[in-house]
Structure 1
Amino acid sequence: MRAAPAAGGPAALVLLLTGTALSAATAPAAADSSACTHDFSGPQVCIRLEGRGATNSVTGIWTNPPASLAARTVSLFLDGRLVSTATATRSGRALTHTWPSSDLGSGTRVCVTFQGSARSACQTTG
């Protein structure tokens, strides 16, 4: 007659690992994303959304401003409508500004532009 496996034996370990794998596979994915303009002959403007679903913070980034430029006005647009302007300041080699996290809505086209540049970088919320 064989004894029953002890609790915590190989069968328990397999169940524990299976449950962990399933829970990790079903966790919601983060909505963090970024996009940049693709014409490298002028200002390189980028946007970064950080958050989940419709709630995100927005960062506008000018990656290659002139070395002498310490600050520049950056504008935030939602579905083509200007909603905010701010001053982007130098952080290393780039000018950046981050708007705090807020509910931007689902499927909203979010864009940033920098004063003096006709280029904009855009992302759509999840």
Structure 2
Amino acid sequence: MAWVVSSATPAAADTSACTHHWSGPQVCIRMEGRNGWNKITAIWTNPPRAAKTRTVYLTQDGQQVGHQHTARRKGKTLSYTWSAFEQGTNAKMCVRFRGIDRVACDTTKYIGNRASL
């Protein structure tokens, strides 16, 4: 399993994190929303050219969320986006593609009310 580093600052409403192994599969998670209510996207940034689809899983604090889904090729990546739902704050959200041991995770955050968002 690979470790990930969040690329967002605490004040950001949207965050993303990717595995940081420069060889092999590169997997990312993107969360768009605020205060524990997010739309989550799993992205495999460098799949084999022949890969058109792949099963993807979402977990929250180690527990699978719903059923498995099918990520589809969009340009050079495979991705799937879950509709926005409430995860709460400080929830560890992770995505994993079938057949890959890399997992990308990020944690939901409370950012407060900001007029600029």
TM-score, normalised to structure 1's length? 0.76
- The runs of 5 or more residues in structure 1 that have no matched partner are 1-28
The runs of 5 or more residues in structure 2 that have no matched partner are: 1-10, 110-117
User: Residues 73 and 87 of structure 1 are in contact (CA less than 8 Å); yes or no, is this contact kept in structure 2?
Assistant: yes
Alignment of 1:60-79 (within 5 A): 60-79=42-61
Hey, what's the Cα distance between the residues in 2 that align with 1:99 and 1:89?
Answer: 13
Q: CA deviation at 1:30?
A: 4.8
Match of 2:72 among 89, 102, 113: 89
**Aligned twin of 2:107:** 124
1:31, distance to aligned residue in structure 2 (A): 1.6
User: Contact (CA 8 Å) 1:77, 1:83: kept in 2 or not?
Assistant: yes
Contact 1:49/1:58 (<8 A) preserved: yes
Relative contact order, higher structure (CA 8 A, sep 6+): 2
The answer to whether structure 1 residue 49 and structure 2 residue 37 are counterparts is no
Give the total of aligned pairs: 98
Equivalent residues in 2 for 1:2-81 (5 A)? 30-81=12-63
RMSD between superposed Cα atoms in Å? 0.9
More strand by share: 2
Q: C-alpha offsets along residues 55-105 of structure 1, whole Å, 9 cap, x if unaligned?
A: 000000000000000000000000011113100000000000000001011
Moved beyond 3 Å, runs of 4+: none
Quote the residue 2:5 is aligned against: none
Instruction: Report which of the two structures shows the higher radius of gyration computed on alpha carbons.
Output: 1
| Among candidates 103, 107, 110, match of residue 86 of structure 2 | 103
